[in-house]
Amino acid sequence: MGEMIVDKRIAAEVIDIFKEVFEKKYPIDKIKLIDEYRAVDTLSMSNNNSSSFCYRTIANTNKISNHGKGLAIDINPLQNPHVIGDTVSPKEGSSFADRSVMQMGMIVEGDDLYNAFIKRGWSWGGHWKNPDYQHFEKNLD
């Protein structure tokens, strides 16, 4: 159990997603407000905290990110890092960048967590050119 702030338009859906994966005993390490980490995303990720709202802009832009809008959720960031070439974030998740070796808490296409989000119209960062395996987002535009 934990706390998460999301956009009110998706709150009920997010509750349904987490109920579904909880009932299936999907392993989520922890869910705490980003405030527990002084709103520093790298600290939250390094502690394997699953979170949503964190006000910030998209890198190198003035555009508010989906996390800044409460429309994105990161799950188990250590086991599901963001990979850009040889750079892994969080760096403590480097051993999980190789997705050919399945480990507990890793999100893979078709698993219970993936399916819970995708069937409700969310997209997964694991499909991106620079995969962000922890990341799910909901487009309301």
Mean pLDDT value of segment 122-139: 98
Task: Please indicate, yes or no, if residue 6 is contained in any of the structural domains.
Answer: no
How many domains, in total, are found in the chain? Answer: 1
**DSSP-assigned letters across all residues of 55-86:** --BPTTSSSBPTTTTT-EEE--TTTS-EEETT
Task: Please indicate, yes or no, if residue 72 is contained in any of the structural domains.
Answer: yes
pTM of the entire structure? 0.95
Mean pLDDT value of segment 90-102: 94
Range of the domain at 123: 11-137
Q: What is the CATH number of the domain that holds 19?
A: 3.30.1380
Q: What does pLDDT average to over the chain? A: 96
Pairing assessment for the beta strands 82-84 and 72-74 based on DSSP bridges: unpaired
Q: Give the CA distances from residue 80 to residues 62, 64, 89, 111, in Å, rounded to whole numbers and listed in that order.
A: 26, 23, 9, 13
